[in-house]
Amino acid sequence: MECEKASALMMQYMDKTLSEADAAKLNSHIKGCPVCKEEFMVYDKILREFETMEVISAPDDFCDTVMEKIRALDFKRPASTVKDSMLCVIWGVFSVLLGLGLLASMYKDTVIEYLASTGRFDLFLKTLAPVTEYVNLFTEGLTNTFTSLSSGLSALVSPVRLTLLVIFAVLAGIQYVIYKKNKAEI
Amino acid sequence: MPVDVSKVSDFDLIQMCINEDMNYFSELMRRYKNLVFSVILRMVNDKEEANDLAQEVFIKVYKNLHKYYPEFKFSTWIIRITTNHVIDFRRKKKQESVPIEDVEYELSSEESPEAQYIRKERDHSINSLLEALPDMYKIPIVLYHKEGLSYQEISDIIKEPLSKVKNRIFRARKMLKESIINTGVGEYYGV
Ligand SMILES: [Zn+2]
């Protein structure tokens, strides 16, 4: 065994995850390699030093002192954050569903084609047909709106999709930031 | 307090503390004061200062209790606040401190024999070697080897990926080992 491998095994020893077989390997290497032997002895010593290191306790009156200070603060906790986080969750779920729904309806041809090709969703597709039609109309309207909105840029459909994607990416980004802010660093 | 608080979980205790009676905080503190105190003391090496800082940490914890999410263990959350607080404190202190050339060095001739002995003893202990390590190595290795935290918990505390945590602890061990071998402390260890 090379010294490098021995060094890795020593780290496992420090982690207390060294297997019996590896311990035997390490042992036999150490017997023939004074450099690794010295290293191992030092590591082992460090481990034991940590174990015997003095346990530090806070002063006896610690809790009382802090409680007194807290009482003196007259601190008012801001109103419930449970409601806030519920709203956050509802808003998050809503916008994700909206985004996914819009994306799905925009790429509905591909989705339907795929579903039809597997053949297992025939019944499902039939039931959904009226809904699909309605969604078609809705999406058309939406696409038109976006097309007219971005007509200055281009009347093509794909840039519109791109624009929508960007909008949702930004929305998701904002949401993520809000979520992180909510759990802000203290 | 009507309930046997020692059996209540951390999370329930926090809710009780927020919604019912702030005095439940005392029990939370009783559970973690030694952990917080010892982490701080290893970072600042001054009992007075550590005591002040530990008090500040718990006041901060109290004020922010409602921000705790049980996504992490409470101890993890508390140690994260602790290490951040100490690092912050030291940063401020460094800015306030006098430039080195203005400091008058006291000669050690007046040091009592006891003090000299203690200093010498300390130089041989792992404590003094730990002191010399930068925070980024010292904090993880102390949390791992002394406080018995897992790599995952440490990664949650210092908000670094697991691989980075392991790497730092490995390097910290190697640094300790090197300083023991190079400074001849090894002889003291009988190595
Ligand atoms: Zn070797």
pLDDT at B125: 72
What pTM was computed for the model? 0.67
Distance A163 CA to ligand 1 centre (A): 61
pLDDT at A128: 66
Overall average pLDDT of the A86-108 stretch: 77
**Chain B residue with Cα closest to A65:** B55
A14 in reach of chain B (CB within 8 A): yes
Helix, strand, or coil (residue B76) = helix
A186 in reach of chain B (CB within 8 A): yes
Is residue A143 pLDDT above 60, yes or no?
yes
Query: Quick one: pLDDT band at residue A54, thresholds 50, 70, 90?
Result: confident
- Where do the domains of chain B lie, and which CATH numbers do they carry? 5-93 (1.10.1740.10), 113-183 (1.10.10.10)
Distance A42 CA to ligand 1 centre (A): 14
pLDDT at B16: 93
Is residue B84 pLDDT above 90, yes or no?
yes
A39 in reach of chain B (CB within 8 A): yes
A129 in reach of chain B (CB within 8 A): no
pLDDT in tens, B123-179: 457 888 888 899 999 999 999 999 999 999 999 999 999 999 999 999 999 999 998
B141-147 LR contacts (CB < 8 Å, sep 24+): B141/B168, B141/B169, B141/B172, B141/B173, B141/B176, B142/B39, B142/B42, B143/B39, B143/B79, B144/B169, B145/A14, B145/A46, B145/A47, B145/A50, B146/A50, B146/A53, B146/B38, B146/B42, B147/B35, B147/B38, B147/B39, B147/B79
Nearest to A160 by CA among A142, A174, A173: A142
Give the A:B interface size as CB pairs under 8 Å: 99
Distance A136 CA to ligand 1 centre (A): 72
Query: Quick one: pLDDT band at residue A6, thresholds 50, 70, 90?
Result: very high
Q: How large is the ipTM?
A: 0.78
